[in-house]
């Protein structure tokens, strides 16, 4: 138990060292899903159906709920607007967690996958070690999840509004 607590502390330090503003340990029960979230992807995002990490290829909310029940803890990681490459940071943290003994570790970054200029949907992912679906793509209500954890998040009404990005690292 102490070993895992130390590993979690190290993961938090690495996340903040890579630009995260704050990290909170939350229960997967406090990660909220909704069927409506995928509608926002389908009707409002130009990436729908163009990436294997996005709907309709990503896990549906019902499946995500079942997946979340396989985990004991999660790290909800708050990134400010200025941090770039959140996807790589999250995959690096996932690998660090795995090597620390969290063999089921899985990360979900913010936003669509940007590893390739164009996703090879028909041929399969050419970056499976790094490609991860965003929380939204899996039906996670990031607004409710962040707010319940005490993090700031508001609708961005203009480019001048502060933006908050979140990543989720699932740990067993």
Q: Give CA 88 to chain center in angstroms.
A: 11
CA distance 73 to 169: 9
3-state helix, strand, coil in the chain (%, to 5): 35, 15, 50
Q: What is the pTM of this model?
A: 0.93
Range of the domain at 103: 2-171
CA distance 166 to 145: 10
DSSP designation for 107 = E
Tally of CA atoms within 13 A in the half-sphere of 86 that contains its CB? 26
CA distance 170 to 172: 7
CA distance 51 to 58: 9
Identify the pLDDT of residue 14: 97
70: cis peptide before it, omega within 30°? no
Instruction: Decide if 116 contacts 53 (C-beta within 8 A).
Output: no
Considering all CA atoms of the chain, what is the largest pairwise distance in Å, rounded to the nearest integer?
A: 46
Count of domains observed in the chain: 1
pLDDT one-digit tens code per residue, 48-85: 888 999 999 999 999 999 999 999 999 999 998 767 88
- The H-assigned helical ranges of 73-141 are 86-99
From first to last of its 172 residues, what are the pLDDT tens digits of the chain?
678 889 999 999 999 999 999 999 999 999 999 999 999 988 988 888 889 999 999 999 999 999 999 999 999 999 987 678 899 999 999 999 999 999 999 999 988 888 888 898 889 999 999 999 999 999 999 999 999 999 999 888 888 887 899 999 999 9
């Amino acid at each position: 138990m102490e070993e895992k607590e130390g590993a979690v502390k190290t993961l938090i330090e690495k996340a903040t060292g890579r630009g995260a503003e704050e990290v909170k340990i939350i229960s997967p029960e406090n990660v909220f899903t909704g069927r409506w979230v995928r509608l926002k992807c389908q009707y409002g995002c130009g990436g729908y159906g163009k990436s294997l990490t996005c709907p309709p290829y990503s896990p549906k909310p019902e499946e995500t709920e079942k997946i979340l029940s396989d985990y004991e803890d999660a790290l909800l990681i708050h990134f400010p607007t200025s941090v770039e490459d959140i996807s790589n940071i999250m995959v690096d943290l996932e690998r660090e967690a795995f090597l620390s003994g969290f063999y089921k570790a899985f990360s979900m970054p913010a936003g669509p996958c940007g590893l390739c200029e164009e996703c090879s949907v028909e041929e399969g992912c050419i970056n499976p070690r790094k490609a991860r679906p965003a929380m939204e793509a899996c039906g996670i209500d990031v607004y409710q999840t962040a707010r319940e954890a005490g993090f700031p998040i508001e609708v961005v009404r203009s480019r001048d509004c502060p933006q908050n990005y979140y990543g989720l690292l699932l740990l067993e």
